Amino acid sequence: MRVSLLQMQPVSGDVAANLEKIGQAAKAASAMGATLLIAPELATSGYALGKQFEAVAEGRDGKTVETLSRLASDTGIAICVGFPERDGEVVYNSSVLVRPDGTNEFYRKGHLYGPAERAAFRPGSEQPVVFDLLGMKTAMIICYDVEFPEYVRTAALAGAELLLVPTALPVGEISRRIAEQVVPTRALENGIFILYADLCGAEGETGYCGRSVIVGPDGDEIARAGLGETLLVADIDPAGYDECRRQNPYLEERRTELYRLG
């Protein structure tokens, strides 16, 4: 399975410009034989909008999802993108997975990071759902979610082999360690592939870490971005990691009677 990951500089508040950028990446990825493209958290709107999310948030039947669905159909690849989702008077930090056949999946971020996110969004209240994507059991979470080991383990126990993680990781020393250490650890300890797609550059005073990565179930990097805009393309093969899972059978050898989780 050939996958692709877009690390992008968002145009703050300009949905049309961001969708155009995602569209160009989808066409390029398709031309290179990819069957999946993942873009960052809130890639359609930009991340540092504050109260402006009220103005750009759309429902699941809005123009943003319609445009992405048409793009998936035209390019023949599945596309996962973060967007601000409106549901009545409530706004969620969400992601959508659109397939070329017109079907889609949605996810609402469960762990909101910092006062700005908590002021703009309501947290999701459902666990990650595992769905079929090109023959792989797949789940979506968003950014801060991946930093909670129990949450990623929940998806893995539900059967996920591939985890899609749109991200807006801010600049900082701790952020760098999340991208370079925490994400590979989550892949290893759960025996799954992780596609971690970050924003880059800056929106006003908010700078992004970049360092997006595609990680295998052994925790090794398959492809890693630097600090600027990048389109990563890589092949992933679940069968190629059978020996890794035999050596590290964490999911099968858990002793839940010993774990007290508050």
Return the exposure string of 93-110: e unless at least 16 CB atoms fall within 10 Å of the residue's CB, then b.
bbbbbbbbeeebbbbbbb
Q: For the CA atoms of 254, 221, 242, 99, what is the dihedral angle to 10 degrees?
A: 90
Q: One of 41, 85, 161, 203 is an active-site residue; which one?
A: 41
Which residues, at least 6 apart from 157, have a Cβ–Cβ distance to it below 8 Å?
251
- Selected catalytic residue, list 143, 161, 200, 209: 143
The phi-psi region of residue 50 (left if phi > 0; otherwise alpha if psi is between -120 and 50; otherwise beta) is left
Cα 249 → chain centroid: 25
Beta strands 193-198 and 202-203, pairing class: unpaired
Tell me whether residue 109 is one of the annotated catalytic residues: yes
| C-alpha dist (Å) from residue 136 to 36, 75, 164, 215 | 12, 20, 12, 15
CA distances for 93 relative to 66, 90, 147, 233, 251, angstroms: 18, 10, 17, 26, 30
Rounded Cα–Cα distance for residues 19 and 28 (Å): 14
How far is Cα 138 from Cα 64, in angstroms, rounded to an integer?
Answer: 22
Determine whether 200 is an active site residue: no
Active-site annotation holds for 21:
no
Catalytic residue among 80, 109, 117, 200: 109
The first and second tokens of residue 15, run together, are: 């949905």
Q: What is the 3-state secondary structure (H, E, C) of 90-125?
A: EEEEEEEEECCCCCEEEEECCCCCHHHHHHHCCCCC
Q: Could you give the residue numbers annotated as active site?
A: 41, 109, 143
